[in-house]
Amino acid sequence: MKHFMRLLPFSLILLLAGCGMENLSALDPRGPVAEMQFDLIMLSTYVMIFVMVVVFSIYIYVLLRFRERPGDTHIPEQVHGNRALEFIWTTIPILLLLILAIPNVMDTFTLADTSAPTEGEGVEEEEEDVLNVEVHAHQFWWEFIYPDHDINAGQEMYIPTDTRVNVELHASDVIHSFWVPALAGKMDNVPGIENEMWFEAPDEGVYFGKCTEICGASHWLMDFKVIAVDEGTFSVWAENMAEPDPEIVEGEGEVAAQGREVFEGNCINCHAVGDEGGAQGPNMTNYGEREVVAGFLDYTEENLYDWIRDPDALKPDNEMPGFDESAISDDEMDALIEYIGQQRVLD
Ligand SMILES: [Cu+2]
């Protein structure tokens, strides 16, 4: 108990620090889906405040008005049934439930509609504006497949701004849950089931995402990013992700070329660059552009080194095996890290 009390302020700080994380709040909605959901949250909050104010006011009034006074000798008159009152407290809740239900049901249909928008005259044009992404959740990382662009991306989901993104959710092992609070409410990734949702980001920026279904020892480290960029940048990203520059893939310079050999000898069965390589682990095509290693460590050479040597120490129960010095020497590791850092698609 003593320890618990000592740790309490510390855990509160951690808890509150989480609240301030940029773009990780459903109460700071961006885009039509998150805004619709935020409006529903506010509507129910207002209804609840109204109910509380009315109930507490009546309660306090009754406490004061009918309290026992000096000289009271008998209990007040006991009444049973009052048609007017019964009518009022049946009707008001029905009205309140209708006020909650109508927009909720309407928005639920709008949010569940993942067909391409068909309004307006330029139907074909609008259909092109939809981006389809399959989100495959794994222990403990995210895979984003763009079926129309022949892209497989790991950990970072690039999207163009002002474009409707239709998302299909899958899971390869256990149940996970896809949540990008600033853009849309969460939805589960369930093995064997295809769940669908959509969202749209009006502004460029990085939107943080988290797995919100406890899925194993490293569930809490299962972070990802949705990165919204202008349409031009997205096209460059998409083209280079589908077909990265062969020179970069082979490794530019002697060191990186050696790194490519290390990559081919140890990594390529599970990790791909472009479409060459396995899909057991995240695709590495734009790895050099990431800000984090393994989804949560700052991108530094030391962290990358530690991660490859012993992934389990950093992210318990993940699927990646460790590579000690008998598998990859320190020199080879330098070359590999150089090679990985070169894998960029935007510059
Ligand atoms: Cu999880």
Give the domain ranges of the chain.
24-62+84-113, 128-230, 246-342
Ligand 1 mean position, distance from CA 133 (Å): 20
Q: Model confidence over 65-122: pLDDT tens digits?
A: 988 888 888 887 888 888 999 999 999 999 999 999 999 999 999 999 888 665 554 4
What separation in angstroms does the CA of 282 have from each of 3, 144, 145, 156, 247? 40, 9, 11, 10, 21
Ligand 1 mean position, distance from CA 218 (Å): 7
Residues within 5 Å of ion ligand 1, judged at the Cβ atom: 176, 211, 215, 219, 222
Q: What is the pLDDT of residue 249?
A: 94
Ligand 1 mean position, distance from CA 141 (Å): 9
Stretches where the chain sits below pLDDT 50 are 20, 121-123, 126
Helix (H) or strand (E) holding 236: helix 231-242
The count of other CB atoms within 10 Å of the CB of residue 117 is 13
The count of other CB atoms within 10 Å of the CB of residue 267 is 22
Ligand 1 mean position, distance from CA 175 (Å): 8
Could you tell me which CATH class the domain 128-230 is placed in?
mainly beta
Ligand 1 mean position, distance from CA 213 (Å): 5
Ligand 1 mean position, distance from CA 136 (Å): 12
Concatenating the DSSP letter of every residue in 250-276 gives H-SSHHHHHHHHHHHHHTTTT-EETTE
Ligand 1 mean position, distance from CA 28 (Å): 23
Ligand 1 mean position, distance from CA 49 (Å): 34
Q: What is the pLDDT of residue 123?
A: 47
Q: What is the pLDDT of residue 4?
A: 57
Q: What is the pLDDT of residue 247?
A: 93
Could you give the CA distance from residue 231 to residue 326 in angstroms, rounded to a whole number?
Answer: 46
Ligand 1 mean position, distance from CA 300 (Å): 25
Q: What is the pLDDT of residue 115?
A: 82
The CATH number, out of the four listed (3.40.50.300, 3.40.228.10, 2.60.40.420, 1.20.1560.10), of the domain defined by the range 246-342: 2.60.40.420
Pairing of strands 156-160, 223-229: parallel
Q: Which residue has the tokens 């057991």?
A: 280
Q: Would the CA dihedral through 281, 282, 288, 292 be positive or negative? A: negative
Helix (H) or strand (E) holding 58: helix 32-65
317: left (phi over 0), alpha (psi -120 to 50) or beta: left
Q: What is the pLDDT of residue 312?
A: 94
Domains 128-230 and 246-342 share a fold: yes
Could you give the CA distance from residue 166 to residue 114 in angstroms, rounded to a whole number?
Answer: 6
Q: Are 233 and 254 in contact (CB under 8 A)?
A: no
Question: Running DSSP on this structure, what letter comes out for residue 193?
Answer: -
Ligand 1 mean position, distance from CA 135 (Å): 14
